[in-house]
Each structure stands twice: as structure tokens, then as C-alpha cells.
């Protein structure tokens, strides 16, 4: 079917461009990602690429015309032969927020007749969302997944099961420690871990079956097996050849490990094993002070484990606003966490009673030992790019094994794209989802776009921690003059009623323009409250804009309003 080539997103504040020069004429053959037309703005010169190989049908606008973002520039008959073959593949369009371009691609073209328009390798949040959006746009779509269920790491052994256990363990802890203050006296609280784990499994099952239903609803074929890329337009699934006009790599990531530590998912576990423990360990050592380790440490700490965190750096959750991280650490220690910051694990020896860890100061010094029943290795994740034929197919990878892509998620091999954890950027499910939607729309000739300055991050401990935009430290490094508005939950009526007064909201705004640059929250429901701040950054709102919006009373969201007002010293309730 004809594909419309549209004006792409040109930058955060750029809405129009001038058609500079047509590089391809009606009737000519073009290859996927080959430049078709040049656009000019006062900020950037853009070459708009073909979203697929085929024949250019017509020009919808003339050279010199002014066009808006999203306007149709031309139409393309995908797969059709043209009057002359293209000489070589060229770089995709440049944009203000583009990622570093991959190396020049070899000339190649997908077969004229293929099994599918789009094949996505990986059915995690990025992959299955990309597949659904592509199907909605009229493509014939298949998704390759070797797990017995869809949903990837997130739904099966990551985001969803961990949140289920976090909620259950939070309820258990509240029943034993917090309910009495509300006049709800429970004489004895008993833990039924097997039932808690069964509830988690039911939640996971419902979610993965939901994705399977969405595949059927949207006519997406599930190719069950191991996917391997062969080259432009070609892949295999468990050795069986499959052809596609567009191949999307959405293989996700795997848990990282430390040298010399043998994971058995029983006593030395990754997040996968930590979600399946059949009894509460008396002593849990978490290696790594990041999101995963602190969330799962919270689960087992609430259920009775003695939790010690060993972190190589001298702080928790690197990249988080320093003030928030400091408050976060104090609250976790208050909950019973033991911290060994600025330390590294050099050895892990299994014994009949558990594990003995050798720990040394990161900067050098005397070693000591820690004994644990279970050790959770949570030192980050690595791109899942191995054993997929990527290097053999000539696809460029960076030093960390991530697939290199350009601003349109295209690799250096024509017709092959990548999104999510397997490319650079934060390893977040929602980031992968947004990239999946953007890529599907780009393949359809639309203006798919992701604003990487408006990707929120959440830590689902108690209290929750959520951030979006720049931290104070980043603004200082960039030399940006800023102002701060801060409001504590202790002064929020709803937080007092809930008995959840720890933490604060912090708004960072440009000192001259008042534009919101970053928002950081530690406190109740921070993961929900951050959505308002994310929308503010996405649409270029000022702190005053947030402050002038009527927020329902009494709600936790009023703390966001008050912090925004505080950026101009106008907070009312403090």
C-alpha cells in the first residue's frame, strides 16, 4: 500500500520548515533510509529518508514551499520497481535531538515479496508495543519470542512481579506496624509466603495473557523460537527462514554479573531468583545500590530479612538528584537497611549455611567478610545482543554491546532497526514502549518522536522516588542558571491523613524563563505524581503554569503545585 513520507519532528521548538531540494523524482526507485528531500529551518538542515524501499509516486509539495511538521511531502509505493536504482544508501535525517549516527550502511534491499512487512524480535514492552502500533498502521506484522509467554523480562520476571511483591510486602508490614495508629489493632500477623507468591504468579499470568490477546486482536503472528538476523530483509526463527521489509531488534537486556561470582538462582541470585524465593532469608546481602537491589531488598526486608547493601560508589542510586538520594538513604537506614557504601565484593564462597562474601573498600584497604543466606547480585543490566547474528550480519555494536542506531532507530544495515534496552539510553520499559511507537510511525511515514528529556524514572520502594528532567548537579555542569521550589509532604493535608509524611517535592526551573527543567519527588505515590511534571516538561510549561492549575484538595498532588509556586517564593502552605 502507498506510504506517506511526512515532515519529521525537527526539534523541540521547530514547527515548520522550507522544502530545499528534491533528491528523488516521481517514478524513481529509492531504498529504505535513502534521502528523498532536503528541508531547511533556521536551526537545522534535514534530509528526510524513505521509510521503505520502493518507487516514489509523487511530490505533494514544491521546492521553496513552507511545510509544517507532520505534513505529507510525497507518497511511496513500497516494494515497487522504479525507473532507476539508487546509487547507495545514505544517512537518515539529522535532528536536534538525534543520537550519534551509525556507520555507513552497505547497499542492500529487502526482497520485493516478503512474508511480513514488519518482524519484531522480542516481545517485551518495546517489542510488543512496536508490533501492535505497526499492525494498527496497516502493516502485516510478526513478533519473534522464544519464551513460553509474551511480555519479555518486564512482565515475566521484572517490573510486574516485583511490584506485586512490593505491594504484598508493604501490606504485610503495614498490618504489623502501621495499622494500630489508625485504630486497626491486629494482635497477630502471619506471613503466608506461598500464597503471596501465588498471587504474584496470577498477576503475571493475567498480564502476559493480555498481551497474547492483543496480538490476536491486532492480527499479529507470534513466531515462537529463537530469532537470528541474517541481513537486510532476512532472518531465521529456530533455523526456519523468514523475510520482512523491516526488521526490528527489541531483544532487551540481561542481568549483569561480577567476575568470579557464580549465579545459581538459589543462594546467589539475580532479580529473577530473588522473585522466586520460597522462604524469607534471615540475612540478605544486596550487591549494588541501584533500583533493582533496593526494591527487592525492600520486599525481603519488610518480610523479616536482615538486609545489607554493598555499593561500589559512596552513594545510592547514581544519577538521582543528590538531595533526594541523601534523604532516601536516611529513610532506608531508618527502616533497617545496613549500608556498606564505597565497598566492593571481591569473592563469594558458597558454604553449607549460605554464602561468605569478601568485601573491600573501593579505594583500597583491609578486607572483611559478610555472611549471608542469600546474595542478590544487582549491579545493572547488559544489552541482549549476543547469539542473534548481529555482528555476522554487519550490524554495528558499541563497546557495551548495544546496537548503534541513528535518530530514526535505523542500524547501519538497511531495513534493520533497534529499540529499547538493546540500544543506548536508560533501560526503562516505558522508554522502550515510546521508541516502539515512534519507530512504527516512522516506518509508516509519520513523525514518530521521543523526547528523551521527558522520560520519568521511578523507584518503587517506600517511600517512592521519582524524577524527570535534569538534576541540580546536571544543571550546574551545563552552566544553566536555575531556581528551586521545594515543598515537604509534612505540610500536605492528605499526606498527614494517610500517615505518610516523609519526603518532599523539588521543582527546578530556569531562572530567567521559569521553564520547568526538572522535578524530583521522594514520598507517597511519587510514581503517580511525576506524570504531571513529565507533561509539564513535554509541553514546555513554566513553574507558574503548574502553580496556576487548580489541584483538588486534599490531594498529594497539591505538594507539586506548592513546590512549583515555591520556585517564585509564592508557596501558600509553608
pLDDT at 109: 67
Average pLDDT, the chain: 92
Q: What percent of the chain lies above the pLDDT cut of 90?
A: 80
Q: Domains in the chain, please, with CATH?
A: 3-78 (2.40.50.100), 116-254+383-450 (3.50.50.60), 268-379 (3.50.50.60), 454-567 (3.30.390.30)
> In what order do the strands lie in the sheet containing 343-350?
343-350, 355-361, 368-372
Q: Please tell me whether 427 is known to bind a ligand.
A: yes
- Residue pair 525/464 in contact (Cβ under 8 Å)? The answer is yes
Per the annotation, does 566 bind a ligand? Answer: no
Annotated ligand binding at 428? The verdict is yes
Mean pLDDT within 48-63 = 87
Report the alpha-carbon distance of residue 297 to residue 543 in Å, rounded: 36
Would you say residue 88 has pLDDT above 60?
no
pLDDT in tens, 182-213: 999 999 999 999 999 999 999 999 999 999 99
Q: Which three cell numbers stand for residue 262?
A: 557464580
Is residue 117 a contact partner of residue 244, using CB atoms and an 8 Å limit? yes
The residues, ordered by sequence, that sit 6+ positions from 356 with a Cβ below 8 Å of its Cβ are 348, 349, 369, 370, 371, 372
Q: Which pTM was predicted? A: 0.81
Total number of residues shown for the chain: 574
Which residues are marked as active site?
A: 553
Grid cell in block for residue 509 = 526551573
| Residue-wise pLDDT tens digits, 231-240 | 999 999 999 9
Question: What are the grid coordinates assigned to 235, written together?
Answer: 532472518
Spatial distance between the Cα atoms of 455 and 467, rounded to a whole number of angstroms: 9
Was 60 annotated as part of a binding site? no
Distance in angstroms between the alpha carbons of the first and the last residue of the chain:
61
| C-alpha closest to that of 247 among 262, 265, 260, 234 | 234
**Confidence at 82, pLDDT banded by 50, 70, 90:** low
Give the model confidence (pLDDT) of 265-305 as tens digits: 999 999 999 999 999 999 999 999 999 999 999 999 999 99
**Residue 539 — pLDDT band, cuts 50, 70, 90?**
very high
Residue with cell 542510586: 317
The answer to whether the annotation marks 289 as part of a ligand binding site is yes
CA angle at 343 for the pair 338 and 346, rounded to the nearest 5°: 115
Amino acid at each position: 500500500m502507498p506510504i506517506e513520507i511526512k515532515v519529521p519532528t525537527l526539534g523541540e521548538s521547530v514547527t515548520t520548515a522550507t522544502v530545499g531540494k528534491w533528491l528523488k523524482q516521481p517514478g524513481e526507485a529509492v531504498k529504505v533510509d535513502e534521502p528523498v528531500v532536503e528541508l531547511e529551518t533556521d536551526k537545522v538542515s534535514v534530509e528526510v529518508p524513505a521509510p521503505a524501499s520502493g518507487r516514489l509516486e509523487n511530490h505533494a509539495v514544491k521546492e521553496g514551499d513552507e511545510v509544517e511538521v507532520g505534513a505529507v511531502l510525497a507518497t511511496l509505493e513500497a516494494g515497487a520497481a522504479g525507473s532507476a536504482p539508487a546509487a547507495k544508501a545514505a544517512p537518515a535525517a539529522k535532528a536536534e535531538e538525534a543520537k550519534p549516527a551509525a556507520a555507513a550502511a552497505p547497499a542492500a534491499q529487502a526482497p520485493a515479496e516478503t512474508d511480513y512487512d514488519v518482524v519484531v524480535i522480542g516481545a517485551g514492552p518495546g517489542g510488543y508495543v512496536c508490533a501492535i502500533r505497526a499492525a494498527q498502521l496497516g502493516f502485516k506484522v510478526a513478533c519473534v519470542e522464544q519464551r513460553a509467554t509474551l511480555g519479555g523480562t518486564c512482565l515475566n520476571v521484572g517490573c510486574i512481579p516485583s511490584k506485586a511483591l512490593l505491594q504484598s510486602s508493604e501490606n504485610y508490614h503495614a498490618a504489623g506496624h502501621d495499622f494500630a495508629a489508625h485504630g486497626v489493632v491486629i494482635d497477630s500477623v502471619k506471613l503466608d509466603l506461598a500464597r503471596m507468591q501465588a498471587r504474584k504468579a496470577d498477576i503475571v499470568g493475567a498480564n502476559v495473557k493480555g498481551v497474547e490477546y492483543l496480538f490476536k486482536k491486532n492480527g499479529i503472528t507470534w513466531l515462537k523460537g529463537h530469532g537470528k538476523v541474517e541481513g537486510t530483509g532476512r532472518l531465521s526463527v529456530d533455523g526456519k527462514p523468514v523475510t520482512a521489509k523491516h526488521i526490528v531488534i527489541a531483544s532487551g537486556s540481561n542481568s549483569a554479573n561480577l567476575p568470579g561470582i557464580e549465579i545459581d538462582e538459589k543462594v546467589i541470585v539475580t532479580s529473577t531468583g530473588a522473585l522466586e524465593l520460597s522462604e524469607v532469608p534471615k540475612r540478605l546481602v544486596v550487591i549494588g545500590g541501584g533500583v533493582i537491589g533496593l526494591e527487592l531488598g525492600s520486599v525481603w526486608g519488610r518480610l523479616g530479612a536482615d538486609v545489607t547493601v554493598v555499593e561500589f560508589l559512596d552513594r545510592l542510586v547514581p544519577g538521582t538528584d543528590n538531595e533526594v538520594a541523601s534523604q532516601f538513604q536516611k529513610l532506608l537506614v531508618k527502616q533497617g537497611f545496613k549500608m556498606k557504601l564505597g565497598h566492593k565484593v571481591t569473592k563469594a564462597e558458597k558454604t553449607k549455611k549460605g554464602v561468605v562474601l569478601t568485601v573491600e573498600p573501593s579505594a583500597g584497604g583491609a578486607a572483611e567478610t559478610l555472611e549471608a543466606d542469600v546474595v542478590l547480585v544487582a549491579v545493572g543490566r547488559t544489552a541482549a545482543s549476543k547469539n542473534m547474528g548481529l555482528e555476522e550480519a554487519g550490524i554495528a555494536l558499541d563497546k557495551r554491546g548495544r546496537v548503534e542506531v541513528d535518530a530514526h532507530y535505523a542500524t547501519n544495515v538497511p531495513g534493520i532497526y533497534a529499540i529499547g534496552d538493546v540500544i543506548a539510553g536508560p533501560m526503562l520499559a516505558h522508554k522502550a514502549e515510546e521508541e516502539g511507537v515512534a519507530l512504527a510511525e516512522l516506518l509508516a511515514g509519520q513523525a514518530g518522536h521521543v523526547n528523551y528529556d521527558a522520560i520519568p524514572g521511578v523507584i518503587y520502594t517506600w517511600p517512592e522516588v521519582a524524577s524527570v528532567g535534569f538534576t541540580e548537579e546536571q544543571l550546574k555542569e551545563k552552566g544553566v542558571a536555575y531556581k528551586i521550589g521545594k515543598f515537604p509532604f509534612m505540610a500536605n493535608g492528605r499526606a498527614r491523613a494517610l500517615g505518610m509524611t516523609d519526603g518532599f517535592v523539588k521543582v527546578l526551573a530556569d531562572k530567567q524563563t521559569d521553564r520547568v527543567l526538572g522535578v524530583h519527588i521522594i514520598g507517597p505515590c511519587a510514581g503517580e505524581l511525576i506524570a504531571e511534571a513529565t507533561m509539564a516538561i513535554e509541553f514546555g510549561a513554566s513553574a507558574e503554569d503548574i502553580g496556576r492549575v487548580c489541584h483538588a484538595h486534599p490531594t498529594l498532588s497539591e505538594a507539586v503545585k506548592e513546590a512549583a509556586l515555591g520556585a517564585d517564593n509564592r508557596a501558600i502552605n509553608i
